[in-house]
Amino acid sequence: MTELATKILSGDARSLARAATAIENRSAAAESLLKELFPHTGRATVIGLTGAAGAGKSTLTDRLIHELRRENKAVGVLAVDPTSPYTGGAFLGDRIRMLSHHADPGVFIRSMATRGHLGGLAAAATDMALLLDAAGKEFVLIETVGVGQDEVEIAKVADVTVVVLVPGMGDDVQVIKAGIMEIADVFVINKADQSGGADRLEREILALQSLSTRHDGWVPPIVRTVATEGQGIVETLAAIRSFLVRSGVKDRAVANWSLRLREMLRERLLEQFANIDFQAAAAEVAARRSDPYTITNAWLKKWLA
């Protein structure tokens, strides 16, 4: 075993940070490290937290960290930084949180930039979660902002996905948004002390839930929180745990790995795509000098010979 792997297994924060950087840069060293660490993983519970910007997700995450630390659990946090122009990059809040937990060796917080290409986020988040798992973190919180595909990607990685909503933010938008209903294992209505809006939002969620049934039969509970006041945090954790106990974590792990293996294979194949001049081929096709079927077949024959 390499020295770096040994240090990570012992929970050394500096080595952890170094390995995280290697994973983010997708260096060759990262893969061999992850291979080494992999047999020592599988113990952490991975919690995905997602929701619109401004839903108070960072505060909620922060409170969950504190609660888990009170139980003396080791915690790792991945804060996914959207590169979307709408949110303007890294969150100031993450920086502040990192400072606030800086002195606590039981907490490791890492910001991770989204890569923009499909599959990249799930791949990087999986690797990061494995790293934190190997380093002995019992809970890994992955926090992402609900932009585009990111939340769906994270749901593939997490053992349980918490969707954070907030009253009065164009509520229906948040809830109905493509895919959200499918990925939420637990709903949190944060800022629930805001006048009356929480009732309405809960009714909307219940109405949508009544339209369809999950194939695992689970009805995601709806927890109300006021994260800034620390209200509802224990209840949120309880809801998370009730899902984990009930859902058959092992089946979910196999299902998630099945998806991940498929995507890893696809990504590797896509790397081969980098050698193809699609633009030139497309120009041939657009000008009808060749046809897409002949071109695709020729590529395949070359590769799968």
Which residues, other chains included, contact 289 with Cβ-Cβ below 8 Å and sequence gap of 6+?
none
Instruction: Provide the minimum distance between the beta carbon of 216 and a second copy in the complex, in angstroms, as a whole number.
Output: 16
Chain residues binding a second copy by CB under 8 A are: 31, 34-35, 38-39, 41-42, 85-86, 148-149, 170, 172-173, 176-179, 211-212, 250, 253-258, 260-262, 264-266, 268-270, 272-273, 276, 278-279, 281-283, 285-286, 288, 291-296, 299-300, 303-304
Report in angstroms how near the CB of residue 47 gets to a second copy at its nearest.
18
Q: Which is nearer to a second copy, 44 or 68 (CB)?
A: 44
Q: Quote the least distance from Cβ 41 to a second copy, whole Å.
A: 7
Spatial distance between the Cα atoms of 299 and 200, rounded to a whole number of angstroms: 55
| Smaller CB separation from a second copy, 218 or 299 | 299
State the minimum distance, in angstroms, from the CB of residue 259 to a second copy: 8
Q: Tell whether the torsion through CA atoms of 254, 260, 264 and 270 is positive or negative.
A: positive
Closest distance between a second copy and the C-beta of residue 229, in Å?
Answer: 29
Residue 199, H or E segment: helix 197-211
Integer Cα distance of 167 and 161 in angstroms: 20
Residue 76's Cβ-side half-sphere holds a number of Cα atoms within 13 Å equal to 28
CB-nearer residue toward a second copy: 65 or 201:
201
Comparing CB distances to a second copy, the nearer of 69 and 260 is 260
Residue 114 vs 256, nearer CB to a second copy: 256
Cβ atoms of 79 and 143 within 8 Å: the answer is: yes
Supply 8's token pair.
């990570």
User: Sheet holding 75-81: strands in order across?
Assistant: 107-113, 75-81, 139-145, 45-51, 160-165, 186-189, 222-224
Query: Smallest gap, in angstroms, from Cβ of residue 283 to a second copy?
Result: 5
All residues at 6 or more sequence positions from 249 whose CB lies less than 8 Å from its CB, including other chains: 159
Which of 148, 197 has the CB closer to a second copy?
148
